[in-house]
Amino acid sequence: MKETKFDGYNLKPFIIDAVHRLGFYEPTDIQKRLIPAVLKNESVIGQSQTGTGKTHAYLLPILNRIDPGSDTVQAVITAPTRELANQIHQEALKITQGAEDEPIRTKCFIGGTDKQKSIDKLKTQPHLVVGTPGRIADLIKAQALNVYKAQSLVIDEADLMLDMGFLEDVDYIGSRMPEELQMLVFSATIPEKLKPFLKKYMENPKYAHVEPKRITAEKIEHVLVPSKQRDKDKLLFEMMSHLNPYLGIVFANTKNTADHIAKYLTEKGMRVGLLHGGLTPRERKKVMKQINDLEFTYVIATDLAARGIDIKGVSHVINYELPDDLDFYVHRVGRTARAGSSGQALTIYELSDEDALARLEKMGIVFDYAELVNGEWKKGDDRHRRKNRKKTANEADQIAKRLVKKPKKVKPGYKKKMSYEMEKIKKKQRRNQSNRGK
């Protein structure tokens, strides 16, 4: 068996086997910095973007420390969405499948499922519990799940937990666990409102902030497509019809907008998936299966899919509208160009988006421009072209005339004063033109 750089962590044989089986060779930055601390039972805060390997940064050492001979819950992993909880559970199962001599029991408990069935599964306590905070808290309150001896509590996507109002449930879970608790917190951002919660449970945690080398993956092409006051639905349909994705996600800001887009495209004869928080658990599970079975070329989604769900094979992302929170632009486009693949992120933009686009550019994102002309993609005009164009002397005169208005009440010498103000503006225009030419 070929040696990997994970061998130096002195992990149990079944975990090393899983590392080989999963094709891991070298730990990611977040794994290098946090696996040793988690193995030593230290509390940690890992701040990194999606796709940096944080799930295995806590799963590998937690599973390594579990004692299969004990019939107690030893670790609890909380996630803000049912889909993410299920994905973490599936990753845990992939690792533990090799521990056949001493099996590690893992269970996933999420909202939207039969609570009594969950309680029935707890006649024997699992070693590892993964789930959504509300359902785990309910099972503890029902005295079906016993976490009073658990050593570790993981809070994945902590900032999203805060946004979705789940911290109270997480707090309840933590309060039922031992005082000497190992807390493992992973989050893309650490908002101020999260800090009091962290301070309550963590004393001098190991902190690792892995800055992405680039704010988005290197192989993402960011493309702006101007709406030019056209019907946005028609423009989206044309764009989707003239791309050839392996799988594309169209992002909208609200459930209502996502529903509207899906209805419009369906009426146009397109078969699209729909994914947002308003679907029932059964509907969401069905859509995820259809996505994984490649039944759709496009999925219409809200930001639930940007953070809480891992959809593989996404080649194109289309922003029907820019998100209100621009961090979600990064999360959205992060669905594509993963594991060294390339991807394209297209955004329909309007004049009112200028401020948001300028802020994204300050964050380091470089946009290309494209337009659909008679069914063909053409290079579009840079939206800065007007601002960068050299102004002629005639234009400077026009600007000066537009800015200096004749006063409503004229006083002696007003013409001289107007002339002076206009000359001042023209000089400024010429100076700006000269500076741009340098």
Q: What is the CATH number of the domain that holds 306?
A: 3.40.50.300
pLDDT tens digits, residue range 10-46?
999 999 999 988 888 889 899 999 999 999 999 999 9
Q: In this structure, are residues 202 and 187 in contact, taking their beta carbons and an 8 Å threshold?
A: no
Q: Is the per-residue pLDDT at 303 higher than 50?
A: yes
- Using 50, 70 and 90 to split pLDDT, how confident is the model at 437? very low
**For residue 61, is it within any domain?**
yes
- Which tokens go with 301? 């989604």
215 found inside a domain:
no
Which secondary structure element, helix H or strand E, spans residue 265, and what is its range?
A: helix 255-267
At 379, the pLDDT band (50, 70, 90 cuts) reads very high
For tokens 């590690």, what's the residue? 104
Residue 247 lies in a domain: yes
Strand, coil or helix: 253: coil
Domain match, 279 and 404 both: no
Q: Does position 409 have pLDDT exceeding 70, yes or no?
A: no
Mean of the per-residue pLDDT values of the chain: 87
pLDDT given at position 159:
87
| One domain for residues 317 and 254 | yes
- For the cut 90, the answer to whether the pLDDT of residue 381 exceeds it is no
Q: Which of 66, 65, 67, 56 is nearest to 92 (CA)?
A: 56
The answer on 239 and 265 residing in a single domain is: yes
Task: Identify the domain containing residue 199 by its residue range.
Answer: 7-209
Query: How much is the average pLDDT of 130-152?
Result: 96
* Residues 6+ positions from 244 with CB-CB distance below 8 Å: none
| Residue 314 maps to a domain | yes
Same domain? 31 vs 171: yes
Tell me which of 46-55, 88-97, 298-307, 392-401 is least confident: 392-401
Are 26 and 76 part of one and the same domain? yes
Contact 173, 153 (CB under 8 A): yes
pLDDT value at residue 377: 93
Q: What is the pLDDT of residue 50?
A: 64
Contact criterion met (CB below 8 Å) for 158 and 187: yes
Could you tell me which of 173, 175, 181 has the C-alpha nearest to residue 203? Answer: 181
Helix (H, G, I), strand (E, B) or coil at 210: coil
The number of folded domains in the chain is 3
Higher pLDDT, 328 or 367: 367
Structure confidence at residue 216 (pLDDT): 67
Per the CB < 8 A criterion, the answer to whether 367 and 223 are in contact is yes
Q: For residue 151, is it within any domain?
A: yes
How many residues are given for the chain? 438
In a domain, 2, yes or no: no
Nearest CA-CA partner of 171 in 195, 149, 190, 197: 197
Which pLDDT band holds residue 393 (cuts at 50, 70, 90)?
Answer: very low
What average pLDDT does range 411-418 have in this prediction? 68
Does 87 lie in the same domain as 156? yes
- On whether residue 31 sits in a domain, the answer given is yes
Residue range 147-168: mean pLDDT, rounded: 92
Could you say which of 165, 185, 209 is where a domain stops? 209
* Average pLDDT of span 70-78: 96
How many whole angstroms separate alpha carbon 51 and alpha carbon 25?
16
Tokens of 4: 């990997």
C-alpha to C-alpha distance for 165 and 144, rounded to whole angstroms: 24
Going 293 to 297 to 300 to 306, the CA torsion angle's sign is positive
Answer with the one of 364, 384, 404 that is the final residue of a domain: 384
Amino acid letter, 8: G
- Please identify, among 177, 209, 241, the residue that sits at the C-terminal boundary of a domain: 209
pLDDT of 175 above 70: yes
Residues 6+ apart with CB under 8 A from 313: 246, 247, 294
Residues 292 and 358 in one domain: yes
Looking at the structure, do residues 227 and 316 belong to the same domain, yes or no? yes
From the list 23, 14, 25, 2, the residue with the least C-alpha distance to 95 is: 14
**Torsion sign, CA atoms 366, 275, 132, 34:** negative
427: Cβ contacts below 8 Å, ≥ 6 apart: none
Give pLDDT, residue 99: 81
CB 182 within 8 A of CB 142: no
Looking at the structure, tell me whether residues 266 and 317 fall in a common domain.
Answer: yes
My answer on whether 324 and 430 are in the same domain is no
What band does 391 get if pLDDT is binned at 50, 70 and 90?
very low
* pLDDT at residue 421 tops 50: yes
Least confident of 199-213, 266-280, 416-430: 416-430
Distances 417 to 73, 117, 267, 423 between C-alpha atoms, Å: 83, 85, 63, 10
Q: What does the DSSP assignment read for 130-152?
A: EE-HHHHHHHHHTT-S--TT--E
Say if residue 1's pLDDT is above 70: no
pLDDT tens digits along 210-252: 875 556 667 899 999 999 888 999 999 999 999 999 999 999 9
On whether both 321 and 172 belong to a single domain, the answer is no
pLDDT at 438: 46
Same domain membership, residue 306 and residue 421: no
The answer to whether 332 and 345 are in contact (CB under 8 A) is: yes
Residue 285 has a pLDDT of: 86
Whether 339 is in a domain gets the answer yes
